[in-house]
Chains A and B, each alone.
Chain A
Amino acid sequence: DAMVIQNPRYQVTQFGKPVTLSCSQTLNHNVMYWYQQKSSQAPKLLFHYYDKDFNNEADTPDNFQSRRPNTSFCFLDIRSPGLGDAAMYLCATSRDGSPRNEQFFGPGTRLTVL
Protein backbone atom coordinates (compact mmCIF):
# COMPACT_ATOMS: atom_id res chain seq x y z
CA ASP A 1 0.00 0.00 0.00
CA ALA A 2 1.61 3.19 -1.18
CA MET A 3 1.75 5.77 1.59
CA VAL A 4 3.81 8.58 0.07
CA ILE A 5 3.38 8.84 -3.67
CA GLN A 6 5.47 10.98 -5.95
CA ASN A 7 4.63 11.79 -9.55
CA PRO A 8 6.20 11.57 -11.95
CA ARG A 9 9.05 9.22 -11.05
CA TYR A 10 11.18 10.71 -13.82
CA GLN A 11 10.88 14.24 -15.13
CA VAL A 12 12.81 15.82 -17.97
CA THR A 13 12.65 19.55 -18.49
CA GLN A 14 14.51 22.15 -20.45
CA PHE A 15 16.78 24.78 -19.02
CA GLY A 16 14.61 27.63 -17.76
CA LYS A 17 11.27 25.87 -18.32
CA PRO A 18 9.13 25.76 -15.15
CA VAL A 19 8.43 22.35 -13.72
CA THR A 20 6.17 21.05 -10.95
CA LEU A 21 6.73 17.88 -8.95
CA SER A 22 3.89 16.31 -7.03
CA CYS A 23 3.66 14.47 -3.73
CA SER A 24 0.61 12.94 -2.10
CA GLN A 25 0.15 10.98 1.08
CA THR A 26 -2.48 8.61 2.45
CA LEU A 27 -1.24 8.83 6.05
CA ASN A 28 -3.04 12.04 7.02
CA HIS A 29 0.23 13.36 8.43
CA ASN A 30 0.56 16.96 9.49
CA VAL A 31 4.07 17.54 8.20
CA MET A 32 5.32 17.26 4.63
CA TYR A 33 8.94 17.79 3.61
CA TRP A 34 10.82 18.29 0.35
CA TYR A 35 14.45 17.18 0.08
CA GLN A 36 16.91 17.56 -2.77
CA GLN A 37 19.42 14.74 -3.21
CA LYS A 38 22.17 15.19 -5.75
CA SER A 39 24.15 12.24 -7.00
CA SER A 40 26.17 10.55 -4.24
CA GLN A 41 25.22 13.26 -1.75
CA ALA A 42 23.09 13.50 1.35
CA PRO A 43 19.45 14.52 1.06
CA LYS A 44 19.18 18.21 1.82
CA LEU A 45 16.03 19.70 3.27
CA LEU A 46 14.56 22.46 1.08
CA PHE A 47 11.43 23.31 3.07
CA HIS A 48 8.54 21.77 4.90
CA TYR A 49 4.93 22.41 5.82
CA TYR A 50 3.56 21.90 9.29
CA ASP A 51 -0.13 21.88 8.42
CA LYS A 52 -0.44 25.11 6.45
CA ASP A 53 2.61 26.75 7.97
CA PHE A 54 5.45 26.97 5.47
CA ASN A 55 9.04 26.74 6.72
CA ASN A 56 11.81 27.55 4.30
CA GLU A 57 15.43 26.55 4.91
CA ALA A 58 17.72 29.57 4.90
CA ASP A 59 19.82 28.40 1.97
CA THR A 60 17.00 27.20 -0.29
CA PRO A 61 17.19 29.18 -3.55
CA ASP A 62 14.31 31.50 -4.42
CA ASN A 63 13.89 29.48 -7.59
CA PHE A 64 12.20 26.79 -5.49
CA GLN A 65 8.65 27.26 -4.27
CA SER A 66 6.11 24.98 -2.68
CA ARG A 67 2.35 24.73 -2.32
CA ARG A 68 0.21 22.63 -0.05
CA PRO A 69 -3.43 23.02 -1.09
CA ASN A 70 -4.69 20.41 1.35
CA THR A 71 -3.43 17.82 3.85
CA SER A 72 -2.82 15.17 1.21
CA PHE A 73 -0.94 17.05 -1.47
CA CYS A 74 2.22 19.08 -1.65
CA PHE A 75 3.90 20.47 -4.77
CA LEU A 76 7.43 21.57 -5.53
CA ASP A 77 7.67 24.26 -8.18
CA ILE A 78 10.98 25.08 -9.81
CA ARG A 79 10.46 28.37 -11.62
CA SER A 80 13.51 28.41 -13.87
CA PRO A 81 15.45 25.15 -13.62
CA GLY A 82 19.16 25.30 -14.14
CA LEU A 83 21.55 22.46 -14.89
CA GLY A 84 22.55 22.46 -11.23
CA ASP A 85 18.99 21.61 -10.21
CA ALA A 86 19.20 18.15 -11.72
CA ALA A 87 18.74 15.82 -8.77
CA MET A 88 16.46 13.36 -7.05
CA TYR A 89 13.67 15.16 -5.18
CA LEU A 90 12.33 13.31 -2.18
CA CYS A 91 9.06 14.01 -0.43
CA ALA A 92 8.57 12.84 3.14
CA THR A 93 5.83 13.06 5.75
CA SER A 94 5.63 12.72 9.51
CA ARG A 95 2.69 12.70 11.87
CA ASP A 96 4.02 15.72 13.69
CA GLY A 97 7.33 17.34 14.49
CA SER A 98 8.25 14.96 17.29
CA PRO A 99 11.60 13.23 16.75
CA ARG A 100 9.99 9.96 17.83
CA ASN A 101 7.77 10.01 14.77
CA GLU A 102 9.30 8.52 11.68
CA GLN A 103 9.61 10.49 8.48
CA PHE A 104 8.13 8.35 5.71
CA PHE A 105 9.78 8.92 2.34
CA GLY A 106 8.35 8.62 -1.12
CA PRO A 107 10.33 6.93 -3.91
CA GLY A 108 11.50 10.26 -5.29
CA THR A 109 11.31 12.07 -8.62
CA ARG A 110 14.49 12.16 -10.64
CA LEU A 111 14.72 15.49 -12.46
CA THR A 112 16.86 15.88 -15.56
CA VAL A 113 17.50 19.36 -16.97
CA LEU A 114 18.54 19.56 -20.61
Chain B
Amino acid sequence: GEDVEQSLFLSVREGDSSVINCTYTDSSSTYLYWYKQEPGAGLQLLTYIFSNMDMKQDQRLTVLLNKKDKHLSRRIADTQTGDSAIYFCAEGELNNAGNMLTFGGGTRLMVKP
Protein backbone atom coordinates (compact mmCIF):
# COMPACT_ATOMS: atom_id res chain seq x y z
CA GLY B 1 0.00 0.00 0.00
CA GLU B 2 0.92 3.63 -0.16
CA ASP B 3 3.07 5.17 2.53
CA VAL B 4 3.84 8.84 3.04
CA GLU B 5 6.40 9.90 5.61
CA GLN B 6 7.31 13.27 7.10
CA SER B 7 9.36 14.47 10.03
CA LEU B 8 7.27 15.36 13.07
CA PHE B 9 8.60 18.78 14.03
CA LEU B 10 10.39 21.80 12.65
CA SER B 11 11.28 24.97 14.51
CA VAL B 12 12.55 28.10 12.78
CA ARG B 13 12.99 31.77 13.60
CA GLU B 14 10.75 34.38 12.05
CA GLY B 15 12.23 35.59 8.78
CA ASP B 16 14.17 32.39 8.11
CA SER B 17 13.25 29.91 5.39
CA SER B 18 11.52 26.71 6.45
CA VAL B 19 11.78 23.46 4.52
CA ILE B 20 9.55 20.47 5.15
CA ASN B 21 10.34 17.20 3.41
CA CYS B 22 8.18 14.25 2.51
CA THR B 23 8.81 10.84 0.98
CA TYR B 24 6.24 8.63 -0.65
CA THR B 25 6.21 5.12 -2.03
CA ASP B 26 3.53 4.97 -4.71
CA SER B 27 5.21 5.54 -8.05
CA SER B 28 1.83 5.74 -9.78
CA SER B 29 0.85 8.91 -7.89
CA THR B 30 -0.27 11.53 -10.36
CA TYR B 31 -0.49 14.53 -8.05
CA LEU B 32 1.17 15.43 -4.78
CA TYR B 33 -0.27 17.95 -2.37
CA TRP B 34 0.62 20.14 0.57
CA TYR B 35 -2.10 20.93 3.08
CA LYS B 36 -1.97 23.24 6.10
CA GLN B 37 -3.92 22.62 9.30
CA GLU B 38 -4.21 25.29 11.96
CA PRO B 39 -5.37 24.42 15.49
CA GLY B 40 -9.01 23.41 15.63
CA ALA B 41 -9.47 23.81 11.89
CA GLY B 42 -9.81 21.59 8.87
CA LEU B 43 -7.16 21.12 6.21
CA GLN B 44 -6.46 23.89 3.74
CA LEU B 45 -4.88 23.10 0.39
CA LEU B 46 -1.67 25.11 -0.11
CA THR B 47 -0.63 23.77 -3.48
CA TYR B 48 -0.34 20.68 -5.59
CA ILE B 49 2.19 19.52 -8.12
CA PHE B 50 1.70 17.19 -11.04
CA SER B 51 4.08 14.28 -11.13
CA ASN B 52 5.66 15.34 -14.44
CA MET B 53 6.76 18.66 -12.93
CA ASP B 54 9.83 19.15 -10.78
CA MET B 55 9.15 22.58 -9.33
CA LYS B 56 6.27 24.89 -8.64
CA GLN B 57 6.52 28.36 -7.16
CA ASP B 58 3.89 30.70 -5.79
CA GLN B 59 5.08 33.83 -3.98
CA ARG B 60 6.85 32.65 -0.80
CA LEU B 61 6.09 28.99 -1.43
CA THR B 62 8.31 26.70 -3.51
CA VAL B 63 7.60 23.02 -4.03
CA LEU B 64 10.27 20.67 -5.35
CA LEU B 65 9.57 17.15 -6.58
CA ASN B 66 12.22 14.52 -7.16
CA LYS B 67 10.22 11.76 -8.78
CA LYS B 68 13.18 9.41 -9.04
CA ASP B 69 13.73 9.49 -5.28
CA LYS B 70 10.00 9.94 -4.51
CA HIS B 71 10.85 13.02 -2.48
CA LEU B 72 8.72 16.14 -2.14
CA SER B 73 9.66 19.30 -0.31
CA ARG B 74 7.99 22.57 0.48
CA ARG B 75 9.97 25.70 1.22
CA ILE B 76 8.55 28.91 2.60
CA ALA B 77 10.76 31.99 2.36
CA ASP B 78 10.61 34.64 5.09
CA THR B 79 8.61 32.41 7.42
CA GLN B 80 6.15 34.32 9.62
CA THR B 81 4.53 33.44 12.95
CA GLY B 82 1.26 33.03 11.05
CA ASP B 83 2.85 30.12 9.20
CA SER B 84 2.89 28.10 12.43
CA ALA B 85 0.69 25.08 11.77
CA ILE B 86 0.81 21.40 10.89
CA TYR B 87 1.70 20.71 7.26
CA PHE B 88 0.57 17.51 5.60
CA CYS B 89 2.00 16.03 2.47
CA ALA B 90 -0.41 13.84 0.51
CA GLU B 91 -0.24 11.72 -2.60
CA GLY B 92 -3.19 11.15 -4.89
CA GLU B 93 -4.05 7.86 -6.49
CA LEU B 94 -6.57 8.03 -9.26
CA ASN B 95 -8.85 5.02 -9.52
CA ASN B 96 -12.37 4.25 -10.68
CA ALA B 97 -13.82 5.80 -7.54
CA GLY B 98 -11.97 9.07 -7.99
CA ASN B 99 -8.84 10.66 -6.57
CA MET B 100 -7.95 9.08 -3.24
CA LEU B 101 -5.52 10.91 -0.98
CA THR B 102 -3.03 9.28 1.34
CA PHE B 103 -1.66 11.68 3.92
CA GLY B 104 1.62 11.75 5.74
CA GLY B 105 1.62 12.12 9.51
CA GLY B 106 2.11 15.88 9.37
CA THR B 107 4.98 18.16 10.34
CA ARG B 108 4.36 20.66 13.10
CA LEU B 109 6.06 23.94 12.22
CA MET B 110 6.81 26.33 15.07
CA VAL B 111 7.95 29.82 14.16
CA LYS B 112 9.68 31.70 16.93
CA PRO B 113 9.58 35.51 16.95
- A residues sitting closer than 8 Å to B (CB atoms) are 4, 31, 40-45, 48, 50, 53, 55, 90, 92, 94, 96-108
Contacts and interface: CB of A to CB of B under 8 A. Distances in A.
Interface string B79-107: 00000000010001010011111111110
A53 B31 CA distance: 24
A55 B97 contact: yes
Contact of B40 (A42, A96, A100, A107): A107
Contacts of B103: 42-44
25 contacts: A40-B105, A41-B105, A42-B88, A42-B102, A42-B103, A42-B104, A42-B106, A43-B88, A43-B103, A45-B101, A48-B97, A50-B97, A55-B97, A92-B42, A94-B99, A97-B97, A99-B30, A102-B45, A104-B45, A105-B35, A105-B42, A105-B44, A107-B40, A108-B41, A108-B42
Contacts, number: 67
Interface of B: 4, 8, 30-31, 35, 40-45, 48, 88, 92, 94, 97-106
